[in-house]
Amino acid sequence: MSKLSWVYGLHTVKALMETEPERVLELQALNTREDARLNPIVQMARQLGLPVAFRERDQLDQLAEGGRHQGVLARVRERQAGDDNDLSAILDGLSVPPLLLVLDAVTDPHNLGACLRTAEAAGVHAVIAPRDKAAGLTPVVRKVACGAAELIPFIQVTNLARTLRQLKDDGVWVVGTSLGEGAKPFYEIDLKGPLAVVMGAEGSGLRRLTAELCDHLAYIPMAGQIESLNVSVATGVALFEAVRQRRG
């Protein structure tokens, strides 16, 4: 049975009602007479036959546990992690070149939540991670992700190396982040086609076999004295460089 949780924010709630309305159970909205951004969401909920309750701001603040709810929360069935079969179905259903994020054994739930939030903002089609020795979809991850965990497919695979080989066989270019020999600046690599961006674990970076399976190794040029970025920040830089190229 699916667990229930609150998600919040105008974009998140609207996107869920548009794409997966069957997962939304009820709406809690700010008790205000007129709000040009909020009223269409309330109307959409009523058209879907969802219960709508109007609350004072402090009541919504409590439900959101300090999150920026923008006057609306929805109680939803939590999205569960997918597996290899779900990944195949996602790729088969795309009409555009896939953009995937692969997290190689990222263990910090705050980093995973931030990566999910960034990936959703960049239009990533799925986030892939190992099932073992890596963070999963915990309550902390969901809170840090600010709703993205309920919007973007999160795929946990039993053998990451096998998944990367399958992606390569399917024509997906695998680009890993590394400061190792032969790595090029991200901005010099063509990121416009079918792409999987692979980010290494906190501190240790990519595992040896993961790095060997990458078609390209890339690094983010640093102008200051610090040699590396937090994995979630580096994920944002890499993904939005891909977005920039794809829109170019």
Binding site for S-adenosyl-L-methionine: residue ranges?
200, 220, 229
Answer positive or negative: Cα dihedral of 4, 108, 116, 64. positive
15: tokens are 């996107």
Cα separation, 192 vs 245, whole angstroms: 6
Residue 168 makes CB contacts below 8 A (sequence gap 6+) with 174, 213, 215
Cα separation, 32 vs 30, whole angstroms: 6
CA distances (Å), 99 to each of 1, 39, 204, 229, in order?
A: 31, 33, 24, 22
Would you say 97 and 195 are in contact if contact means Cβ atoms under 8 Å apart? yes
CA distances (Å), 173 to each of 20, 99, 214, in order?
A: 30, 10, 8
Cα separation, 157 vs 162, whole angstroms: 9
First to last CA, the chain: 44
Binding site, annotated residues = 200, 220, 229
Would you say 159 and 133 are in contact if contact means Cβ atoms under 8 Å apart? no
48: tokens are 């879907």
